[in-house]
A and B are shown apart, each in its own frame.
Chain A
């Protein structure tokens, strides 16, 4: 029996109190139970984050000594400080001079947003073709697309590497932006969403003399705004956290995105966990901000697309 057990017992007690103590107690108790369960799930999910935030401010010597934070009596500059951030931001010496952390952040921002934008364009175009046109080979292409998703990307790493080298794209962002520029998953999502656009609209536009590109850009695409939002966020997230591609293709330190850079802090012989965790914390912020502000669009998008399975 310890504090946690007692706490749990109290929570259970409240449930029963509500259920039997109040009029229409059963309903209230159910609502209480629902939020209780959700809160417990949320607490479990959040605990590693809480630990992360605490760890980032703890001095590296005491990282393991206190589970979360030291008791107030032990707070001092020896135990709680910003050393990890100082190390993170102080810049690394490389052959090209000092490289600062925020440059890596910019690299990540660029790579993720650029590849998402390109992907958006190509995937929606592909999805539109599959959704709104009848043509020979459509079924074949879709079957091919599904089949292609079953292959592990690792299988193609070596031949793709050879190609990138022969194109002269080694150590450039082209190597990261081009190969993955059209996601099959995205095409399926857009196909789902675009199938919901009434054909009559498109026909009417054609009758009015609009060309196909115009129809796609100005009439059809704005109608699937939610799916666009959802796709953008998912793809951005995937690209933001992408690791193997940059690791293999980028060689200049100043061009590296965050995942590769932070992984460098965990080496074979030395591990700077505090700095790594500080970097991780910062790396979580942009996606978190994006999601937080665009939550509604995201869920609406998934609703429109995936629901029709």
Chain B
């Protein structure tokens, strides 16, 4: 057969026709009726949990609810685009912590989500939750999403290895105690010049630094959205962290995520890991062979009697202003987030503790967890939960985080070339420069313009 335009063109035309027909055939087989409410979620375990209880809500109200599972990055970009153009948006959206900053970068009236502040106070929900958590979902004093969680942070460790090394974790009350312990266990065991045992999993970016700063009550932005991270406390914390990761007596190593993390945990390369409640389930799923070997302890405090936890991550539920059934959506939000029986069974499935204080009385939180060797991790986290620090967001949170990482990396360069002398001071100066930069960018936002460069 002669191909006047070449084999390739012919083949492609054929493929297009065949696949197009197949695709159409399958799409026709998928007719879905228009639901009353559409809710977009990015976490598969949340979606499973909601799906289980959704039937009850649908029956009670005689409506149909559609749950859409969307990957987080896609959800973020889609929401951004659709809110920008007024395109089709779901009625409810589960947002990732920190993103509320982006959505509230314009005038308050322009925030694409329903302002829940009044409803929360009038219906008494506000006081039933851990109040500091609302900070993650607020802008200029108005609350735009219902918090799903608190994510208090603990330390997870290999119980067996710790016992072998004769360490008593209850004696690790402060970071000073921890560092002393750490320095004694770091060792090069196979003589290749690289230590094979480290005490602390230390990411080489601002993740752990944020956790530690929040633990100390140091925010990046205050509740007015002003830049506040250029303080001595921040400088001291970053200097401490740099010493632990690149100093002469370092105890930290970046175990990473995924496969690298699994190997590090299995090999005992790193002993202690920052572990919020959601990570406990992740460890359980990714490393089933560690069953019974892991345990949790609160974070060491910075001073005796200080806060022994922090917060890492978060999810919240927002209702879009474009929704035509906002009251129904609000009912669904309450149904999913404020029923303590559901919350307790959800905890069993995800290990995530809810911010609703009365739910913590449920027995599920005292259940010993076999993966963690019988430790009642629910109770551990609820005990820590009351101290969860607030976490204020801004459209420039990501930028501030990047700048913090830059300060960290600059500090690493400093310690490598000039040692520990003067490290903290150089960090403080660098912080001021970077904070001023963030202030400058913030000031360019004509909708938020408020602060002056050079300090709030």
Interface residues of A (CB under 8 A from B): 60-61, 63-65, 94-97, 103, 106-107, 109-110, 113-114, 116-117, 120, 158, 161-162, 165, 170-171, 218, 221-222, 225-226, 228-229, 232-233, 236, 247-248, 251, 253-255, 260, 263-264, 267-271, 273, 290, 294, 297-298
Interface residues contributed by chain B, number (CB under 8 Å): 55
Q: Give 20 A-B contacts (CB < 8 Å), ordered by A residue.
A: A60-B259, A64-B263, A113-B13, A114-B16, A158-B81, A165-B88, A228-B5, A232-B6, A232-B8, A232-B9, A233-B8, A247-B77, A248-B77, A264-B74, A267-B42, A269-B313, A270-B282, A290-B11, A297-B7, A297-B8
Q: Which of B28-43 contact A (CB under 8 A)?
A: 30, 32, 42-43
Is the pair A268, B72 in contact by a Cβ cutoff of 8 Å? yes
In the complex, A297 Cα to B96 Cα: how many Å?
A: 49
| Given A110-B19, A221-B4; A116-B289 close (CB under 8 Å) | no
Q: Provide the residues of chain B in CB contact with A267, threshold 8 Å.
A: 42, 71-72
Known contacts A110-B20, A110-B23; 11 further A-B pairs (Cβ under 8 A): A61-B262, A63-B259, A95-B32, A110-B22, A113-B12, A158-B84, A171-B88, A221-B5, A268-B42, A270-B285, A273-B259
- The answer to whether residues A226 and B72 also contact, given A248-B81, A271-B258 and a CB cut-off of 8 A, is no
Task: Tell me, yes or no, whether B170 is within 8 Å of chain A by CB.
Answer: no
- Are B262 and A120 closer than 8 Å at their CB atoms? no
List which B114-153 residues lie within 8 A (CB) of chain A: none
Number of A-B contacts (CB under 8 A): 138
Chain B: which residue is nearest A63 at the CB level? Answer: B259
Q: Which residue of A lies closest to B31 (CB)?
A: A96
Asked whether, in the complex, the Cβ of B20 is within 8 Å of the Cβ of A268, the reply is: no
Which single member of B9, B15, B26, B313 contacts A109 (CB below 8 Å)? B15
Given A221-B5, A254-B26, A273-B259, does the pair A61, B15 have CB atoms closer than 8 Å? Answer: no
Closest to A166 in B: B85
Of A95, A103, A165, the residue contacting B85 (CB under 8 A) is A165
Q: Give 4 nearest A-B pairs by CB, closest first.
A: A110-B19, A113-B16, A64-B259, A232-B8
The answer to whether the Cβ of B68 comes within 8 Å of any Cβ in the partner chain is yes
Interfacial chain B residues near A229, Cβ < 8 Å: 6-9
Tell me the bound Cα distance from A109 to B5 in angstroms: 20
The answer to whether B263 touches A113, judged by C-beta atoms less than 8 angstroms apart, is: no
List residues of chain A with CB within 8 A of the CB of B78: 248, 251
- Contact A61 B289, beta carbon cutoff 8 Å: yes
Q: For B12, what are the chain A residues with a Cβ–Cβ distance below 8 Å?
A: 113, 116-117, 120, 232, 236
The contact of B258 among A103, A161, A254, A273, by CB within 8 Å, is A273
- Nearest opposing residue in chain A for B82, CB measure: A165
For the complex, is B360 an interface residue (Cβ under 8 Å from A)?
Answer: no
Please name all residues of chain A whose beta carbon is closer than 8 Å to the beta carbon of B74 when the two chains form the complex.
247, 260, 264
CA distance A109 to B14 in the complex (A): 11
Q: In the docked arrangement, what's the CA distance between A85 and B258, Å? A: 19
Given A221-B5, A290-B11, also A114-B20 (CB < 8 A): yes
Residues A106 and B6 in contact, CB atoms below 8 Å apart: no
Q: Report the minimal beta-carbon distance from A103 to chain B, rounded to whole angstroms.
A: 6
Cβ-neighbour of B19 out of A65, A113, A273 (below 8 A): A113
Cα A94 to Cα B32 in complex, Å, equals 11
CB of A270, distance to nearest CB on chain B (Å): 7
User: Which residues of chain B are near A221, meaning CB under 8 Å?
Assistant: 4-5
B34–chain A nearest beta-carbon distance, Å: 12
- Chain A residues within 8 Å of B263, by CB: 64-65
State whether the Cβ of B455 lies closer than 8 Å to any Cβ in chain A.
Answer: no
Q: Are B15 and A113 closer than 8 Å at their CB atoms?
A: yes
Nearest residue (CB) in B for A120 is B9
In the assembly, what is the distance between CA of A104 and CA of B425, in Å? 55
Shortest CB distance A294–B (Å): 5
Closest to B96 in A: A268
Task: Tell yes or no: B67 within 8 A of A by CB.
Answer: yes
Tell me if B5 and A222 are in contact (CB < 8 A): yes
Q: Cβ of B22: which chain A residues have Cβ within 8 Å of it?
A: 106, 110
Inter-chain contacts of B15 with A (CB < 8 A): 109-110, 113
- B302–chain A nearest beta-carbon distance, Å: 28
Question: Are the CB atoms of B23 and A107 closer together than 8 Å?
Answer: yes
Q: Give the chain A neighbours of B248 by CB distance below 8 A.
A: none
Cβ contacts under 8 Å, B408 to chain A = none
Measured between beta carbons, the chain B residues less than 8 angstroms from A290 are 8, 11
Tell me the minimal C-beta distance from A24 to chain B in angstroms: 42
Type the 1/0 row for B296-309, where 1 means its CB is closer than 8 Å to any CB of A.
00000000000000
**B5 with A225: CB separation less than 8 A:** yes
Q: Does B66 contact A (CB under 8 A)?
A: yes
Would A110 and B16 count as touching, CB distance under 8 A? yes
Residue ID in chain B nearest A251 by CB atoms: B78
The residue of chain B having its C-beta at the shortest distance from the C-beta of A247 within the complex is: B74
In the bound complex, residues from chain A placing their C-beta under 8 Å from that of B82 are: 165
In whole angstroms, how far apart are the Cα atoms of A251 and B44 in the complex?
17
Taking a contact as CB atoms under 8 Å apart, the answer to whether B6 and A94 are in contact is no
Taking CB as reference atom, which chain B residue is nearest A286?
B15
**Chain B residue at smallest Cβ distance from A158:** B84
B87, A96: Cβ atoms closer than 8 Å:
no
From A96, A110, A162, give the contact of B32 (CB < 8 A). Answer: A96
User: CB-CB < 8 A to A162: which residues of B?
Assistant: 84-85
Contacts of A161 in B (CB 8 A): 81, 84-85, 87
Q: How far apart are the CA atoms of A110 and B3 in the complex, in Å?
A: 21
Chain A residues in 8 Å Cβ range of B72: 267-268
Report the Cα distance A183→B296, complex, angstroms: 58
Q: Are B77 and A228 in contact (CB under 8 A)?
A: no
Contacts of B454 in A (CB 8 A): none
**Interface check B69, CB cutoff 8 A:** yes
Q: Given that A64-B262, A106-B23, A158-B84 are contacting pairs, would A117 and B8 also be in contact in the complex, using a CB cutoff of 8 Å?
A: no
